[in-house]
Amino acid sequence: MSLYRDTVAVCRMIKIEHSVFALPFAFTGAFLAQGPGPGWSIPSWRILVPLTIAMIAVRSFAMAYNRLADMDIDSLNPRTQGRPLVTGELSVDFTKRFLFFCALVFTTACAAMNGTCLLLSPVALLWSAFYSHTKRFTPLCHFVLGSVLGLSPVAGWLAVSPSHLGYPAVLLFCGVTLWVAGFDILYACQDAEFDKSQGLSSLPASQGVPRALFTAAVTHTCAALIFPMVGLAAGQGIVALGVCVLVGGVLVWEHKLINADDLSRINVAFFTLNGVIAAFVFLGTWADLAIGSPWMFFTR
C-alpha cells in the first residue's frame, strides 16, 4: 500500500477527529493550574507542545489497542465490519508496531514535561488499554472509558503543577468521566441487540435501551452540575458560569435528539454536540482567565 493509503487507514482506525474530545480538556487543566488573577498567562509552549503530543499519542494508543482487542467482535458486527483491521487494510503486526511507537512517543513527551508525568505514564497506558476489555464483563464499561478521558485535565494540570493536584482538576476529572460515560451509553444504544447476542455487557445490552437512555440522562445531569463546581474551586467568574449554562443546554438538546424508537441522529448527538461541549469548556475557561471576570462565583 502507498504511504497515503496507510496514513488514511491509520487515521480511520484511531478516529483522529475524535481528538476534539480529550485535547481541549487537557488544555483546560493546564490553564487552570496557572491560577486566576491579573497576572495570568498561557502556560509555556515547552509545556503545551509535549502535552499536545502526549495526548495525541496516548489516545492513538488506546484506539489502536481497542481495535486490536475487538477484532473478533468487529468482524461480526455489520456496523464495524469496514474497520481497517477487519478488512485487512492494516495488519495485526503493523498495529502492534504502531502501539509500540505510540507508547514510546507518549512516554518521551511525558518525560519532556516533568518527572511526575513520566512516572505516571505507564499507569495511563495500562488504564487506557484496560478499558477495551471491560465491556466483556461489566456494564460499567462506559464509566471506565469516561475515566480514561477524565485523566486529560489531570494530565494538563500535572504538566504545569507536578507537585500539587488541585481540586479543580479532581472535579474536572469527575465531570469529564460522567460526561463521556453518558454519551458513550448513548452511542452504545445502536449496538444493543448485537451486544446482547454476543454476551457483551454494555448498559443498553444488559438493561435495555430505555433504561440506558435514562441512565445517560442522569449521568449527564450530574456532569452538568459538576462543571460549575470546577469554576468555584478555581475562583473563576461569570464567563465560566455562562459557559456551564450553555453546556447544560447542549446536553439537554443532545438527549432531545434521541429516543428509544429513533436512534437515527446518534452521530449528531455523539460527535457534533459533544465536540462543541469540549470546545466550549476550554474556550470559556481561557476567556475567563484571560479577561478576569469582574464578578466572581465567590469572594476570594
- The Cα-based distances of 271 to 20, 25, 166, 168 in angstroms read 9, 16, 30, 26
Q: 267: which residues sit within 8 A by CB, 6+ positions away?
A: none
**Residue carrying the nine cell digits 487552570:** 32
Q: What is the rounded CA–CA span in Å between residue 167 and residue 236?
A: 13
The answer to whether 192 and 204 are in contact (CB under 8 A) is yes
Whether the pTM exceeds 0.85: the reply is yes
What is the grid cell recorded at 52? 499536545
Q: From the CB of residue 165, how many other CB atoms can be counted at a distance below 10 Å? A: 16
Q: From the CB of residue 132, how many other CB atoms can be counted at a distance below 10 Å? A: 19
Domains detected in the chain: 3-291 (1.10.357.140)
Local structure of 267: helix, strand or coil: helix
Residue-level pLDDT at 73: 95
pLDDT digits over 23-70, tens only?
Answer: 999 999 999 998 776 667 899 999 999 999 999 999 999 999 999 999
Residue-level pLDDT at 38: 66
Residue-level pLDDT at 270: 65
pLDDT digits over 181-223, tens only?
Answer: 999 999 999 999 999 999 999 999 999 999 999 999 999 999 9
Estimate the crossing angle of helix 115-134 against helix 45-69, to 10 degrees: 20
Beta-bridge partner residues of 296: 237
Q: What is the mean pLDDT of the chain?
A: 89
